[in-house]
Amino acid sequence: MMFLDDLSTKEFEREIDDNTVVILPIGVIEEHGSHLPLSTDSLQGEYVAEEVARRTGALIAPPIRYGVCNTTRNFSGTVSIRFETLRSLVLDVLSEFGRNGIKNVVVLSGHAGSTHLAALRLAAKDVVDKNDMKILVLSDYEIIYEKGFVGPEDGHSGSVETSRVMAIRPDLIKGKGKKGVNRIPKYMVLRHPEKYWKGVTGDPAKATKKKGEELNELIIQEMVKMINDMRKMEV
């Protein structure tokens, strides 16, 4: 049994103990070039969550596919909610997990925008300050950024992201995609960032399914380790 809400109230009561881990996948509806679906970030986080749950016995909470987009906020198809909305939503959900006796949570975001992640972290901080819980908050992209696979040359909708979607949902790839460069002046907060960036960073044509599978596996293994460590930590 993997999905938290497949359980009945009685099963839930029996199932939950101090060792239980719940993964809450967070995605977003967001422009991802002409070759990737709006669900790109959601797909990746949910795929990772399912694989990690399989290997660790974690439960998966219903995914949230609504998040905060800044740079892509003016593109067609992007659905960006307010920072405070995302924060409140995740705060409420985590608090209810706490009320229900869940001690270990992973908030896993497929989207890696810095304010989006700040909303998730703030929510988690407010919850651990009032509940005996341990909460991991991360984006799968932070893991591969750390390892040097993404960066200023290849990021949003680029070869890495395209590779990963090729490995997860090849049916949603819509052609090759256009190469792009992010020329938004560093640190600049702008009304129209799309004047300096066309929505793709990197060259999607360099993507391969194999690269995607390798990156997905790398992320999954890292997360499995983190969850095992978290289970051993004291609250």
What residues numbered 144-203 form the site for its own copies, per CB under 8 A?
172, 174, 185-191, 199
Residue among 18 and 210 whose Cβ is closer to its own copies: 18
Binding track, positions 31-50, relative to its own copies; x by CB under 8 A: xxxxxxxxx--x--------
Q: Say if CB 212 and CB 206 are below 8 A apart.
A: no
**Least Cβ distance, residue 49 to its own copies (angstroms):** 14
> How many chain residues interact with its own copies (CB under 8 A)?
83
Q: Say if CB 55 and CB 30 are below 8 A apart.
A: no
**Position among 75, 202, 203, 216 found at the interface with its own copies (CB under 8 A):** 75
Partners of 134 in beta bridges: 104
**Least Cβ distance, residue 79 to its own copies (angstroms):** 4
Query: Which helix (H) or strand (E) covers residue 108, if one does?
Result: strand 104-109
Q: How far apart, in whole angstroms, are the C-alpha atoms of residue 73 and residue 76? A: 8
**Amino acid identity, residue 6?**
D
Q: Is 93 in the site for its own copies (CB under 8 A)?
A: yes
Q: Is 228 in the site for its own copies (CB under 8 A)?
A: no
Residue 170 CB neighbours (<10 A): 10
**Least Cβ distance, residue 214 to its own copies (angstroms):** 21
Q: Is 134 in the site for its own copies (CB under 8 A)?
A: yes
Query: Among residue numbers 113 through 132, which ones bind its own copies (CB under 8 A)?
Result: 114-115, 117-119, 121-122, 124-125, 128-129, 132
Angle between helices 159-168 and 209-232 (to 10 degrees): 80
Q: How far apart, in whole angstroms, are the C-alpha atoms of residue 65 and residue 92? A: 16
Tokens describing residue 21: 């881990």
Residue among 21 and 137 whose Cβ is closer to its own copies: 137
Residue among 118 and 209 whose Cβ is closer to its own copies: 118
Q: Is 18 in the site for its own copies (CB under 8 A)?
A: no
Tokens describing residue 121: 């972290």
